[in-house]
Every structure is written in C-alpha cells, then in structure tokens.
Amino acid sequence: MNIHEYQAQNLLKEFNIPVPFGVMIASKDDCQAILGALHFDKICVKAQIHAGGRGAGHFKNDLGHGGVKFASSKKEAFYVIKNMLGNTLVTKQTGNGGKVVHKVYLVEPVRFSREYYVAILVDRNLRRPVLMLSTEGGVNIEAIADKSPEKLHKIIIEPSMGLTISQIKELASRIRLTTEQTQELSDLLLQLYALFIVKDCSLIEINPLVLDKSGHFLAIDSKINFDDSALPRHPDIVKLRDIEEENPNEVEALQYNLNYIALDGNIACLVNGAGLAMATMDLIQYHGGQPANFLDIGGGANEGQITRAFKIILKNPNIRGIVVNIFGGIVKCDAVAQGIVNAAQATLLSIPMVVRFEGTNVREGKEVLNSSGLRITFADDLDDAANTIVNLCK
C-alpha cells in the first residue's frame, strides 16, 4: 500500500525524525485561513499524488510545468494552490492520462548545504533488510546508482541484531561526518529502522535527506510503502489509504482478495495463479490480441469471489471477449463455474467467452457450465484458449 508524501512526513515526525514544517490542503475553501496562519511567506507547494516524478511532470490546464512549485508570497501560493487542486498532473509514472490532484502539501522551504538519499527495504536475495545511503541525493538517484555505485553505501541488517551503532558509525566515517552529525544520523537511522519494522513497511525512502545551513539533518521528502500482507495487523496504517488515488476496480478487487490490474487491451482474463495469469497474457499477445486486465483469483477463491471477479472485469467498457483459464489446485473448477454462471446470468453476458478448465473437479466444472445455457466455447489447452478468444474478438 502506498501513502502520500504528507502522510509519510507525518509518520517520520511521529518517529522523531526531523522534517520541515508542512500542512496539507484538500479544499480551496480552507486555503485563505491556512495560508494566513503560516509563519513564513515563501512557500513550497507540492501536488500530492501516488506517483513519482512530480517535479518533472506537467499539468494539463494552466499551471504548465512542474508538480512542485515555489511561491515567493502567500498571494502567489494562493494562486498556485487554486490552480493545482482539481488539475491533472502528468508524470512519467502516471501514464498519459495523468492523475487528478486532490491534495496539496505546503512546506517551508529549507536552505541546505548537502543532500543525501536514504532507503530501507528488504533484499529478496539476501532475505534481509538493507539500508542504502547515497552521498548524492536528488532526482537522479537511479543514474547515480548505475554510474557511480561507489557513492551508494549499503548496510545489510541482521534481523536479530537490528541496525547497529557500529554499522552506522562506520558509514558515517566513510561519508566524513563530524561527531555531532554522526550522533544525529545515528538517532535518525535507528528511528527510521524502527519505523520500518514496527509498521511493516516494504519501502522507506528519504530523498533528499539534507544537512541544513545550521548543520542539522532534515528529511525534506519521503516515500513509504507498506506490505499489503501485513496490513491486517496495522489498522492505523489502513486508515491512511487514499481510495481516490487508486483504480476503483482494483480497490474493489482487493476487498475480495482478488489481484486485479487494469490494462489497455480488450480481452478480459480470469485466471488462477499469478504465473499462469501472466503466461495467459503472454499468449494473448503472442496471438495478436491485447489483454484488458491481469486477474489472479488467488489460491483459495470460492464461488462468491469468482462472481465478484467476473463482475469487476465486466465493468471495463472496452472488453470484447473473456478468457477463463483455470488449472485447479486448491481452487476447484466447479466453484469457478458456478461463480461464472451466477455473474453471467446477473449481467446478461453477451460477449464471447472461452473457458479452459483443468485440474481439481474439472469434470464437475464443465457440467455446471454446460447445463447453464450460457454460450461458452471450451478450449482444450492454454494455447487453444488464447488463440480462440483472440480470433473471436477480431
């Protein structure tokens, strides 16, 4: 799960990590009052969307270039906020459609002398959390990692020990910090690691972490992602979810434990297992079609979930055909069949559907579909299923 920058900054603050003063605005009506109460005049206005590359993005209406703007007065800030809220911001991560800005974050600008990049995440090969710190922060961090890997310092964290003071001290001496700065960085990183563990984060990124003019560390911008599987034990984090930022069909799918991702094509897919779902999409493309979605109904889907899944994929107005590919294990073909029948009858399904069943209760599944009266083409195997649906949708 993803959260906004202002929420991430609040979490850092909660864990005693120094951040610049900031306030979020979601409504133009609140604008005057909030601006009036600010104790500074120069204001950094930052669009809050769940996508990176905001600074280099552009707005569809008026404001032009940049989702992060410096205003030299409250009057200018007022103009910027008014035009940002409700406007659409397009960045390299949003796709061409862009994302509507529903919230902006007003931050006191900070003058700083040095910037760093800090991240904590789990390295799947090492099976351990790693902390990364680069002596060059800023937007080009990926290029830095690629071209000057020596500037990127990596600490592998033993889960039983946690991040240790000696690891941090060694890092601090490599990047030539003073004793005071080392102490400050140590406090900061220990708190950051605590946040990572306590809240089951999958990623924390501070970019940039700066040394301000008075020589203190300050987290200017941050990004935090959470492990979806751990959300059941973090009701406080679940409350931070911003549904407006997510595809409504994907949100609905998640409620029913379905893994759904909307795509641009016109052939809807309903498959069990992420690997088989990807393979089915690969084959649809191979035969000249375009998948309308990725949908993995998961390991233990029941009839009710299948009905939901079916209704969700049918909400996409572009679809011209459906392919169902089930290789039953825990999932039983007859349960899938009954779920399909329920949904198809409720929605008066009129587009072609190709079904490929194999595995647990395959015979029972086919019987359910056969006796339903639905117009269904059965496929013998994976390739046949993909090929048939592509031809039916031509």
Partner 1 sequence: MSILVNKETRVVVCGITGKAGTFHSNQCLEFGTKIVAGVTPGKGGQITASNVPIFNSVQESVINEGVDTALIFVPPMFAVASITECIEANLKLIVCITEGIPVLDMVRVSVALEHSNSRLVGPNCPGIISPGQRCKIGIMPAYIHRPGPIGIVSRSGTLTYEAVWQVTQRGSGQSTCVGIGGDQIIGMTHLDVIKMFNADPETEAILMVGEIGGNSEELAAAYIKQHVKKPVAAFIAGTSAPQGRRMGHAGAIVSGKYGSAESKLAALRDAGVAIAEIPSKMAEALFSIYSK
Q: Which residues of this chain interact with partner 1, rule CB under 8 A? A: 52, 93, 117, 119, 121-125, 127-130, 132, 141-142, 145, 152, 158-160, 197, 200, 202-203, 205, 207, 223, 225, 227, 229-230, 232-233, 263, 271-276, 278-286, 291, 294, 298-300, 327-330, 358-360, 381-383
Give me 240's structure tokens.
Answer: 């931070």
User: Which of 160/214 has CB closer to partner 1?
Assistant: 160
Minimum distance, C-beta of residue 37 to partner 1, in the bound complex (Å): 33
The Cα–Cα gap between 184 and 225 comes to: 25
205 is known as an active-site residue: yes
- Measured from the CB of residue 117, what is the shortest distance to partner 1 in angstroms? 8
Q: Encoding tokens for residue 381?
A: 């195997």
Whole-number Å distance between alpha carbons of 202 and 204: 7
CB-nearer residue toward partner 1: 83 or 272: 272
Task: Select 79 or 294, whichever has its Cβ closest to partner 1.
Answer: 294
User: By the 8 A CB rule, do 389 and 289 touch?
Assistant: yes
Q: How far is the CB of 190 from partner 1 (least distance, A)?
A: 17
Compute the least distance from the CB of residue 215 to partner 1, in Å: 27
Helix (H) or strand (E) holding 271: strand 267-271
Of residues 5, 184, 205, 303, which has the active-site annotation?
A: 205
Would you call 250 a catalytic residue per the annotation? no
Q: Which of 225, 247, 243 is nearest to 234 (CA)?
A: 225
Burial class (CB in 10 A: 0-12, 13-18, 19+), 266: middle
Nearer of residues 170 and 381 to partner 1, judged by Cβ = 381
| Structure-token pair, residue 50 | 């769940």
Tell me how far, at minimum, the Cβ of 56 lies from partner 1, in Å. 14
Rounded Cα–Cα distance for residues 318 and 246 (Å)? 19
CB 141 within 8 A of CB 221: no
Measured CA to CA, the distance from residue 12 to residue 238 in angstroms comes to: 17
Out of 105, 116, 117, 260, the active site residue is 117
Q: Do 151 and 174 meet the contact criterion of CB atoms below 8 Å apart?
A: no
214 or 229, CB closer to partner 1? Answer: 229
Contact 67, 57 (CB under 8 A): yes
Residue in this structure with the two tokens 């031509």, named with its chain if needed: 394
**So which residues are the catalytic ones?**
117, 205
